[in-house]
Amino acid sequence: MKLLITGGAGFIGSNFVHYWVNKYPDDEIVVLDKLTYAGNLANLETVKDRIGFIKGDICDANIVETAMAGVDTVVHFAAESHVDRSILGPEEFVRTNVLGTQILLDAAKKHKIKRFHHISTDEVFGQISLDSKEKWTENSPYNPRSPYSASKAASDHLVRSYYHTFNLPITISNCANNIGPFMFPEKLIPLAITNLLEGKKIPIYKPGNQVREWLYMEDHCSGIEVILKKGKVGETYFIGPNNPEVSNLDIIRKLLVLMKLGDDMIEFVGDRPGHDQKYALDHSKITRELGWQPKFALDESLNLMVDWYTKNQDWWKNVKNGEYKKYYDQQYGRRK
């Protein structure tokens, strides 16, 4: 089988490439990645001789046409994905996440792709109040509240429209917040770990009571795998952890305990506009219908994160240079 992995040099995409290459060494993989700030060829260094790589933009129809040739399955990770950056500049999110997805879908239709799998997010459903026990299901209504989640919602609708209108064999997965190796250090947990390793405080949006679910990357990859192997065309599946609800502040305190530091390393900053309070997915459908279950508990996942970032300081120090410093100062300096 030949797979096209869009965004395969980014955090989630590169982890999936490693997962698939190791499990299915006879399959052919082509990675298409624009190598924006979040794309990093170093993420693929240990498998570079086992994959094909095309540097290009999913909004470039000619490049997409070349990348799609001979492909059986597309796994579409490529996206602008950080809420804070979408607030600073929504245009690129609409361009990449909506137009780019449409161009990929047109090429997939033309080449009669056997499966187009689209990676989405829990954020398209909006927010849940902190005092609610509600969990979203695959039938929950969309209610995006940021430019990022709105652009992902639009791409989800486009993917489904190509199934209903053109009979394109698609599947979609919505996932919880991911953590794992190669995670760009603008996101909460790697930001916290790398700041602490540098002796810096951790900026946390006030009041720190926002609740997220944390899905370890290997669980996400195995969830996508089971959807590709056993999922029903046209269906959507949630991929989430079995972890208890934990606030952002409690997550940071868990990291401080692991790294033997105290609460004096916490620095509260002004909250971001439209900050969603809580996300919670009911992933019973993928368990019931496809037999998938997450394996990694939260504490184990956090231990693995601290260990990886401690052992791979050259990787994240290189990432944190240059453009990242400008973004960090813009994002957190103005909110103190």
Catalytic residues: 122-123, 148
Three-state DSSP at 207 gives: coil
CA 312 to chain centre: 20
Burial 69-105 (b: 16+ CB within 10 A, else e): eebebbbbbbbbbbbbbbbeebeebbebbbbbbbbbb
* Sequence-ordered list of residues with C-beta below 8 angstroms from that of 9, at least 6 positions apart, any chain: 31, 33, 35, 39, 40, 41, 43, 44, 53
Q: Which long-range contacts (CB under 8 A, 24 or more apart) does 34-41 make?
A: 34/58, 34/78, 35/9, 36/80, 37/184, 37/323, 37/324, 38/10, 38/11, 38/81, 38/82, 38/184, 39/7, 39/9, 39/10, 40/9, 40/10, 40/14, 40/182, 40/319, 41/9
Q: Which long-range contacts (CB under 8 A, 24 or more apart) does 47-56 make?
A: 47/17, 47/18, 47/21, 50/21, 50/25, 51/8, 51/17, 51/21, 52/28, 53/8, 53/9, 54/30, 56/32
Q: Supply 178's token pair.
A: 């991911």
Residue with tokens 């401690």: 310
**Kind and range of the H or E run holding 145:** none
* Sequence-ordered list of residues with C-beta below 8 angstroms from that of 164, at least 6 positions apart, any chain: none
